[in-house]
Amino acid sequence: MPFFSLNDKTALITGGARGIGEAIVRRFAAAGADVHLLDVNAEAATALVAELTGAAQQVTFHPCDISDHTETIRVVDAIAEDASIDILINNAGIAHIGTVEQTTEADLDRLYQVNIKGVYNGLFAVIPHMKRSGGGCILNMASVASVVAVAERFAYSMTKGAVLTMTYAVAKDYLAHNIRCNSIAPARIHTPFVDGYLAQHYPGREDEMYDRLAQTQPIGRMGTPEEVAALAQYLCSDEAAFITGTNYPIDGGFITLHG
C-alpha cells in the first residue's frame, strides 16, 4: 500500500471545479478516493469529471451552492445514502480586495455567505453522518490572512479568521466521535483568480505585476495548487491520524519571515 493512500475513502470537496479545489480533486482521485465534487460551476466541473472518471478513478459532480443551507444538506444526505462520508474538504471560497472603507455592506454579506456560512453548512450537513459511521476527517481552507495582517483584505481576513476558529471548535467538540478537523493556510497560490485579477486591473502588464506579487513571498514565488493538494492528501490520510485541531501554513515563509 503506498503512503498517504485514500483507497476506500469517500471524499466531499467543495469548490472543486477550479484552482486549489481542482488540484485536490485530481490528487484525491489518483490516491484512490471516491470523490464527490460540489460546485456551482457546472461547465468546469463537468469537464473535469469527464476527464478524470475511469482508469480506476471515480469523480462525481453535484451542483451545489454551499451558501444555501437546505441545498447543501440535501446534496450531502443524498451522497450519504450510498456511502459513508470519510473526508470533507471545505474549500469553496471567494476573495475581496479592499480596506473597511472600500468594503460595501453587500461585499461583506457576499463573503460571509460563501466563506463562513458555506463552511458552516458543510460542517452541519456532514458531521452527523460522520458520527454515525464512527468518525472522519475534515479539512478547512483557511489563509495566512487568518493569522497575520494582510493589507487591503479586510472582509476576506474576517472570513478566514472565522474559518480558523471554526476549525478549532470542531476539533475540540468532536474528539469523542473520532472526527479530526484541521485547516490549511495558504499564502499566494497561482490560481485562475490571480490571472483574472491581473488581466482586469493591469492589462498589458500582467507578467510584470505577477512577478511583483510573487516576490512578496519570502521564498520568491507563488505556491501551486498541486502543493496545497499534496498537503491536503497527507492530512486526510491515515498517516495523519494523530493530527487534529491544527492549522498548517503553506506560505513560502510568509508568516514567520515576512517583513
Give the DSSP H or E segment for 186.
strand 179-186
Give yes or no: 156 in active site: yes
How many whole angstroms from its chain centre is CA 213?
Answer: 22
State the catalytic residue, choosing from 156, 202, 210, 248.
156
Please tell me the distance from the alpha carbon of residue 8 to that of residue 157, in angstroms, as a whole number. 36
In 40-173, DSSP assigns E strands to 58-63, 87-90, 136-141
Give SS3 for 223: strand
Indicate the Cα dihedral angle 184, 241, 231, 166, nearest 10°. Answer: -10
- Mark 132-168 as b/e (b = at least 16 C-beta within 10 Å): ebeebbbbbbbbbbbbbebeebbbbbbbbbbbbebbb
Place of cell 490572512: 145
Sign for the CA dihedral angle at 129, 135, 137, 142 comes to positive
Q: Judge whether 64 and 58 are in contact, CB under 8 Å.
A: no
How many whole angstroms from its chain centre is CA 171?
Answer: 17
> How far, in Å, are 10, 34, 130, 169, 215 from residue 84 at the CA level?
7, 11, 7, 23, 44
**What positions carry a catalytic annotation?**
156
